Amino acid sequence: MATTTSPPTAPTATGAPTAPPTPPALTGRTRLILFVLCAAQFMVALDFSVLNVALPVLGADLGLGQSALQWAVTAFALPSGGFLLLFGRIGDLYGRKKLFLAGLALFGAASLLATFAWNPAAFLTGRALQGIGAAAIVPTGMSLLTTTFPEGPLRDRALGISGTLLSLGFTVGMVLGGVMTDTLGWRSTMGLLALFSVIVLPLAPGLLPESRTPDRPRLDVPGAVTVTGGLLALIYALSTAAQRGFGDADVLVTLVAGLLLLAVFVRVESRHAAPLVSLPMLRRGTVAFGNLGGLITFSMMSTVVFVLTLYFQETLDLSAFQTGLIFGVQGVVSVVAGMLAPKVIGRFGARRTLVGSLAGQGLLTAALLGVGAESGAILATVAVSVASMFHLGAIVSYGLTVTSGVPNEEQGLATGLVTTTQQVGLTIGIPLLGVLATTGGNLYGGVRTVLLLDAAIVLGTALLLGLGLRRR
């Protein structure tokens, strides 16, 4: 969170210094607005983690095999990332408040569908609709926050509260997911999200101001369609290939279709007047390397959480509640690390912090290879908690690396890339590597294979960024 410094006191006519001006305070109305916006963001952060520890129980109840469990996560994360930029632009054009409310309503209805799902198709449909609702809530909610609170102490305070609650949302989700799954069943985790929507939605219409951008940029519908379709096809191909092999006709068709759609997306973005992704921006060294670091830290850490969830419950026979407590420790460490990261960056700089954080995350992931088939919960808890400290350092520093040196008029494009990288990273990690843990018939061996590949990718990226950013 940015900080501000009070101006020095000036002497009065009598020579006595005047008191510094009192910083503006939140009014009753702005407090309620902040509550509504932060509660919605907290709800979305909760959805990213509340189901993780419930996956084995959910799979057994709905008939989802281990190899298909990643779709419970991917079905939500993929649309939430794929539609993020499009919905942010729609909100700019036609009203952020309208789209925010629509996203809340859809999210609540989808949560009810997931709660009462009678088969895997109904559940995954609910998860996908949750993702679409989240894609509308996240960018419009952040825009409403920054337009409601003026730049300065009020906005700094609002952004600080919002960021803290986002971090806490993931932590609380892991713990609540374990407690609720053990006591009320996995369906209660989805019911909790529906309850959040019921609380927030009635308050929002009368409180939130409407806002839209004055320049009304053109809507890049072809870009949104091609990038979302391309990602969907690629994720499906990678997930299916782990079970059937790359020689399967279905895998080959969807893989080629995904690559072609992404190629068309690049072509569209190079010609569109208001692209979703600025290709010239990606040619900046710090932007390209910074986003690569962000993509790797998000995708690889989400993979670690996924395979450790399976390891704790399927290999070590821990309950969902015990698993939630372990990840709760990780979450608390993450919140502390998020507060310390700005100080580390101030001492060493964003680029060095990014490289060092990736190296630390990779080394701690490699340390997880020491877990055993019969014991290893303590080692895994310590290793994943310390790894999360480096992970948070990478998250904070990659955003600063991407936006450093970018002209003010292009900061919006750079920030959009940061957000997109985060969402895509959360989307691709589990289908790309996590699924390997559930194939081959040996879960413990599969988990070790994934952890080894994960650590190698993160360490390789740290080395690449160290060399690439040093030249700049």
Residue 49 exposed, middle or buried by CB count within 10 Å (0-12, 13-18, 19+):
buried
Q: Is 17 helix (H, G, I), strand (E, B) or coil?
A: strand
Question: What value does the mean pLDDT take over residues 19-25?
Answer: 52
Check residue 167 and give its pLDDT. 60
Question: What value does the mean pLDDT take over residues 330-349?
Answer: 81
Q: Is 10 helix (H, G, I), strand (E, B) or coil?
A: coil
Rounded CA-CA distance 76/388 in Å is: 23
Confirm if 106 and 140 have CB atoms less than 8 A apart.
Answer: no
Q: Is 11 helix (H, G, I), strand (E, B) or coil?
A: strand
What integer best gives the mean pLDDT of the chain? 80
Q: Name which of 73, 59, 67 is nearest 437 in CA terms.
A: 67
The residue that leads in pLDDT, 354 or 140, is: 354
pLDDT above 50: residue 66: yes
Check residue 152 and give its pLDDT. 59
Look up residue 242 and give its two tokens.
């782990």
HSE of 126 in the Cβ direction (CA atoms, 13 Å)? 23
Q: Name which of 236, 462, 247 is nearest 351 in CA terms.
A: 462
pLDDT above 60: residue 6: no
Rounded CA-CA distance 56/66 in Å is: 8
Least confident of 15-24, 145-154, 294-303, 357-366: 15-24
Rounded CA-CA distance 18/183 in Å is: 59
210-214, 275-279, 386-390, range with greatest mean pLDDT: 386-390
Q: Name which of 288, 205, 271 is nearest 461 in CA terms.
A: 288
Phi/psi of residue 11, nearest 5 degrees: -70, 145
Rounded CA-CA distance 193/199 in Å is: 10
Question: What value does the mean pLDDT take over residues 384-402?
Answer: 85
Angle at which helices 377-403 and 285-310 cross, to 10°: 160
Rounded CA-CA distance 332/468 in Å is: 33
pTM of the model: 0.75
Check residue 25 and give its pLDDT. 61
Give the DSSP letter of residue 273. S
Rounded CA-CA distance 218/227 in Å is: 17
Q: For 122-179, how does the pLDDT look when each residue is reduced to its tens digit (9 = 90+)?
A: 999 999 999 999 988 888 887 787 777 765 567 656 765 666 676 667 667 777 888 8
89-93, 359-363, 423-427, range with greatest mean pLDDT: 359-363
The residue that leads in pLDDT, 224 or 291, is: 291
Give the DSSP letter of residue 208. P
Neighbour count for residue 335 (Cβ, 10 Å):
16
Rounded CA-CA distance 390/379 in Å is: 17
Confirm if 72 and 127 have CB atoms less than 8 A apart.
Answer: yes
The residue that leads in pLDDT, 8 or 384, is: 384
Q: How far is CA 412 from CA 147, 202, 270, 409, 424, in A?
A: 14, 31, 18, 7, 18
Confirm if 217 and 274 have CB atoms less than 8 A apart.
Answer: yes
Phi/psi of residue 17, nearest 5 degrees: -70, 145
Provide the greatest CA pair distance for the chain: 87
Confirm if 384 and 364 have CB atoms less than 8 A apart.
Answer: yes
Check residue 12 and give its pLDDT. 46
